[in-house]
């Protein structure tokens, strides 16, 4: 009886060869499932090609393939082919106008100004660098509409994320593109704005991923030198930094070199987490220079990877020490397990200089097949783009809006000591009190999963705007602005601090 049942199951399996294997596993034992898989494998070997027909050895089925005139010997891609059954014959109908395009992995070098964009990473409903880039590829016939909404199907990846308003002199993305385009950068650039340009396209290995192969990244921070004005002097645009202050600043920046626990220099990271430890290869500053009546200085930092707001906090602490607001031992203490109250410098001057691929170049650049990921032949074009769109935007915005001056006014509000979560902003009134309440509400409601471990990548800017809109709409006043809401919130008096000598601490949001 058992052998009869097994024979019946095998006969049933043969009739269900085109159905899902998952639906019939309950009918079989493990050994019989293996028998079925072996049968499916051997069944494909029964077929042989005869002319333009595929006929199995038993002669029961016949598949007719209608080939394209442009490529009569090659079977077209499956998305553009379908089958129909007629008189027990299966015919595969193919679109004769379709031409299959081979795709290869490319590394694209981008330069862009972050002004007017909500960062690099695409976010539906907001203007981002990736959205403009993907739309330009679609218009250039390098990918379809599906690739714009789901770029992963073309293996799209970025080397580093940049926050709102942050620019990049050299940003790298990897993506699969057709290999029949003579000049990929020119094809994409004609559909991009002048503030985003593809400088170069290099053919890479099949498994290349611009994020995982990136072994280090270099950032720069351009700021006016009055950010380092001593606290006992008036901060104005007429200030000129001395050579002694520059040398002292370089010593402060050198304190970050090496592997340290940077949990105090980011958000929502605990001291015991291994991912909070980062390796800083170099951090220094150049010589000051004048531009448009202001004196400027550039800080550069190179590391394996950076966490959320890490660079901006490192620079903010260095400015506080140089001005004399914080002690020189703050950096060393901040590497300990206690949670410190540290400021975040403005994001205007932050620029992604270059992702480095030294390991990739060492392994593949000399194999005679692949090209190294170096950009020396487009250095002049990058420098011209930077001076016209990146440096000009930073300098012009700083002169017109003075974001650094406004931020320096809030610098003394930070304690640079162990943070007491219960007393943050205690005693603050007016707009400051409203900002403290809003920052606390956002900090408590944001999920830990939103703190992505990528370079300077964050979406807090639009999250704050959305939470304000939600709070305002819940209050029944959809036309109220952010300032009106803060004014309304500020009318609620807070209790005065019981000890007048305590320094008020607010979260810089």
Active site residues: 163
Rounded Cα distance, 221 and 285, in Å: 9
DSSP structural state of residue 493: P
Q: 63: which 2 tokens?
A: 């598949």
Write phi, then psi, for 68 (nearest 5 degrees).
-80, 145
DSSP E strand boundaries for 16-150: 47-50, 53-56, 62-65, 81-86, 89-94, 103-112
Rounded Cα distance, 341 and 503, in Å: 12
219 annotated as ligand-binding: yes
Give the DSSP per-residue string, 219-271.
EEEEEEGGGG--TTS---TT----HHHHHHHHHHHHTT-EEEE-GGGSSS--T
DSSP reduced 3-state for 9:
helix
Which residues are CB-neighbours of 163 under 8 A, at least 6 positions away? 114, 119, 347, 350, 456, 457, 458, 461
**Which ranges in 100-209 belong to alpha helices (H)?**
129-139, 145-149, 184-189
Rounded Cα distance, 328 and 335, in Å: 13
DSSP reduced 3-state for 30:
helix
Give the DSSP per-residue string, 289-358.
EEETTEEEEEEEEEES---TTHHHHHHHHHHHHHHTSS-TTHHHHHTSSS-B------STTEEEEEEE-H
Asked if 285 and 299 touch (Cβ cutoff 8 Å), the reply is: yes
CB hemisphere CA count around 436 (13 angstroms): 23
Rounded Cα distance, 144 and 257, in Å: 45
Chain CA centroid to CA 435, Å: 28
Which residues are CB-neighbours of 370 under 8 A, at least 6 positions away? 203, 204, 205, 364
CB hemisphere CA count around 157 (13 angstroms): 15
Rg (CA), the chain: 30
DSSP structural state of residue 500: T
CA angle, corner 205, sides to 204 and 211, nearest 5?
75
Alpha-carbon dihedral sign for residues 167, 170, 175, 176 = positive
Per the annotation, binding residues for substrate are 219
Per the annotation, binding residues are 219
């Amino acid at each position: 009886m058992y052998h009869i049942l097994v024979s019946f199951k095998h006969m049933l399996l043969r009739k269900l060869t085109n159905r899902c294997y998952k639906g019939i596993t309950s009918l079989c034992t493990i050994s019989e499932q293996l028998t079925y898989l072996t049968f499916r494998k051997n069944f494909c070997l029964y077929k042989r090609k005869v002319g333009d027909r595929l006929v199995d050895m038993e002669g029961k089925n016949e598949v007719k393939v209608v080939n394209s005139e442009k490529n009569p010997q090659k079977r077209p891609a499956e998305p553009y082919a379908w089958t129909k059954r007629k008189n027990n014959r299966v015919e595969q109908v193919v679109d004769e106008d379709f031409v299959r395009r081979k795709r290869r992995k490319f590394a694209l070098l981008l330069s862009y100004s972050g002004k007017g964009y909500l960062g690099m990473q695409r976010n539906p409903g907001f203007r981002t660098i990736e959205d403009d880039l993907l739309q330009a590829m679609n218009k250039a016939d390098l990918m379809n509409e599906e690739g714009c909404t789901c770029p992963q199907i073309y293996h799209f990846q970025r080397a580093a994320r940049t926050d709102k308003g942050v620019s990049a002199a050299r940003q790298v993305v990897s993506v699969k593109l057709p290999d029949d385009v003579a000049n990929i950068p020119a094809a994409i650039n004609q559909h991009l704005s002048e503030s985003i340009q593809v400088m170069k396209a290099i053919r890479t290995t099949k498994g290349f991923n611009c994020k995982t192969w990136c072994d280090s990244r270099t950032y720069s921070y351009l700021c006016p030198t009055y950010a380092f004005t001593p606290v006992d002097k008036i901060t104005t645009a007429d200030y000129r930094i001395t050579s002694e202050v520059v040398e002292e600043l370089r010593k402060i920046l050198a304190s970050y070199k090496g592997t340290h626990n940077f949990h105090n220099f980011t958000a929502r990271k605990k001291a015991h987490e291994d991912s909070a430890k980062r390796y800083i290869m170099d951090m220094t500053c150049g010589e000051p220079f004048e531009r448009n009546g202001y004196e400027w200085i550039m800080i550069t930092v190179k590391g394996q990877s950076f966490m959320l707001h890490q660079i901006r906090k490192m620079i903010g602490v260095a400015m506080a020490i140089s001005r004399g607001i914080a002690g020189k031992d703050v950096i060393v203490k901040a590497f300990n397990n206690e949670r410190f109250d540290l400021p975040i410098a403005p994001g205007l001057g932050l620029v992604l200089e270059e992702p480095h691929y030294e390991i990739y170049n060492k392994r593949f650049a000399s194999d005679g097949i692949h090209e190294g990921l170096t950009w020396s032949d487009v250095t002049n074009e990058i420098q011209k783009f930077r001076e016209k769109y990146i440096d000009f935007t930073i300098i012009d915005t700083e002169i017109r809006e003075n974001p650094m001056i406004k931020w320096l006014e809030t610098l003394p509000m930070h304690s640079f000591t162990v943070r007491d979560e219960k007393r943050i902003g205690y005693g603050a009134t007016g707009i400051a009190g409203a900002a403290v309440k809003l920052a606390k509400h956002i900090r408590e409601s944001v999920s830990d999963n939103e703190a992505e471990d990528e370079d300077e990548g964050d979406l807090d800017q639009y999250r704050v705007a959305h939470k304000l809109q939600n709070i305002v709409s819940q209050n029944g006043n959809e036309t109220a602005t952010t300032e009106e809401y803060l004014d309304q919130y500020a009318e609620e008096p807070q209790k005065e601090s019981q000890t007048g000598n305590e320094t008020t601490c607010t979260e810089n949001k």
